[in-house]
């Protein structure tokens, strides 16, 4: 198979979808690897390393898309890349289609085999390709929030951990999944007071077993959300329903009760965001906006800020699936691997993921 690795063009996105080590394995199996010049630089991989691994270096993204059967990316294609996609090409990346009808329509029109990292699900319900980036985004959400709380960034000027004689800051995390648990871990490490809300009481019990009395756990309902958010110095949105657009759990009225200079980090923004006042996607170049006196951070590619760590974590998870697709072809690969089949979002001009179809009000077709 001919496998193409274009350079990511999203704002300040330094991750790459394939490392030279992965390229070497694929090349030794007889596959042709085409890597766009400079694709790995953000993660510390030189073009020469890819050449030594058996890859061909392409001078343009157009060449990569033109020649490759399988396109490996990290983030969803942007409008500048739409015209480069070839009909019936295989696209393997984070797609997040539930929040992007335009991209979905492009993939349908071109009959792209769209395989989304974020909807690959194993029998135990886990999301193996979403987990590593969720861990990074969760940890970074508190790191980012702590910085934005500094006065120089427009925050209320508090130190999350406090000091002897001064109370610590309050971090409220809505959603107790992988993002929420990792956010709680970092917030506790900084010495903050941490509240976690989730609708799943079993998940809250799990978090209580891990963190004990160091965190406060609350069932997520309107009353508890209003109470907790009114006390938050930093609010982290960490709600996920795999494949679906994120529900707006936190309302505008709740945000208006937050003190001026408080901070919101909506990690769910790549699925549309779970906080009502987050009405736009921001970038690493221009990451924040203010509403009701509260600083909002809604960057959709948070792990792109730490590309070396993120690339190594991501490719470790994705590479076994890349091997299956390359060695078997996508049809046999999804037949043999039911988790990979869950990743098919678009096929032959049809939406094959129920969450995407319902979120975008498009017809849903079961994968046969």
Q: Catalytic residue positions?
A: 96, 270
> What would the DSSP string read from start to end of 127-174?
-TTTHHHHHHHHHHHHHHHHHHTSGGGTS----TT-BTTBPPPEEEEE
| Residue 209, CA distances (Å) to 13, 205, 261 in order | 36, 6, 33
Q: Which residues pair with 173 in a beta bridge?
A: 196, 236
Q: Could you give the angle at which helices 307-328 and 131-148 cross, rounded to 10 degrees?
A: 160
Question: Can you tell me which residue has the tokens 């739409």?
Answer: 82
Q: Which residues pair with 363 in a beta bridge?
A: none
Distance between CA atoms of residues 37 and 46, nearest Å: 9
| Residue 206, CA distances (Å) to 131, 177, 182, 199, 268 in order | 17, 10, 13, 13, 22
Q: Of 175, 102, 185, 81, which Cα lies nearest the Cα of 140?
A: 185
Question: How many Cβ atoms are within 10 Å of 118's Cβ, its own excluded?
Answer: 23
**How would you class 12 by CB atoms within 10 Å of its CB: exposed for 0-12, middle for 13-18, buried for 19 or more?**
middle
| Residue 290, CA distances (Å) to 70, 230, 235, 261 in order | 41, 17, 14, 9
Query: Starting from the edge strand earliest in sequence, which strands make up the sheet with 350-351, in order?
Result: 56-58, 32-36, 2-5, 70-72, 90-93, 113-116, 344-347, 350-351
Nearest 5°: phi and psi at 112?
Answer: -70, 140
Handedness of CA 210, 211, 216, 222 (dihedral sign): negative
Q: Of 195, 202, 151, which Cα lies nearest the Cα of 173?
A: 195
């Amino acid at each position: 198979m001919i496998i193409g690795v274009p350079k990511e063009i999203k704002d300040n996105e330094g991750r790459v979808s394939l490392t030279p080590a992965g390229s070497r394995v694929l090349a030794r199996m007889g596959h042709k690897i085409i890597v766009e010049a400079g694709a790995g630089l953000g993660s510390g991989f030189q073009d020469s390393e890819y050449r030594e691994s058996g890859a061909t270096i392409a001078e343009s993204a157009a060449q990569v898309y033109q020649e490759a059967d399988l396109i490996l990316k990290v983030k969803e294609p942007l409008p500048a890349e739409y015209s480069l996609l070839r009909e019936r090409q295989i696209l393997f990346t984070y797609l997040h289609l539930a929040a992007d009808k335009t991209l979905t329509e492009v993939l349908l029109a071109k009959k792209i085999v769209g395989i989304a990292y974020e909807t690959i699900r194993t029998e135990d319900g886990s999301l193996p390709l979403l987990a590593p980036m969720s861990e990074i985004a969760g940890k970074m959400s508190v790191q980012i929030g702590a910085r934005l709380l500094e006065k120089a960034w427009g925050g209320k000027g508090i130190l999350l951990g406090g000091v002897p004689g001064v109370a610590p800051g309050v971090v409220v995390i809505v959603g107790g999944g992988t993002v929420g648990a990792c956010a709680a871990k970092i917030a506790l490490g900084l010495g903050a007071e941490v509240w976690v809300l989730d609708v799943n009481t079993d998940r809250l019990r799990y978090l209580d077993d891990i963190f004990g009395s160091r965190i406060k756990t609350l069932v997520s309902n309107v009353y508890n959300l209003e109470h907790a958010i009114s006390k938050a110095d930093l609010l982290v949105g960490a709600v996920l329903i795999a494949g679906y657009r994120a529900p707006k759990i936190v309302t505008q009225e709740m945000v208006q009760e937050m003190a001026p200079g408080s901070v919101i980090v909506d990690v769910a923004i790549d699925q549309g965001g779970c906080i009502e006042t987050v009405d736009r996607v921001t970038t690493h170049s221009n990451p924040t906006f203010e509403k009701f006196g509260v600083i909002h951070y809604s960057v959709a590619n948070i792990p792109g800020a730490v590309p070396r760590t993120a690339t190594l974590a991501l490719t470790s998870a994705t590479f076994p699936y890349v091997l299956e697709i390359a060695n078997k072809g996508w049809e046999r690969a999804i037949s043999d691997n039911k988790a990979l089949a869950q990743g098919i979002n678009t096929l032959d001009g049809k939406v094959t993921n129920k969450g995407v179809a319902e979120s975008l009000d498009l017809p849903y077709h079961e994968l046969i």
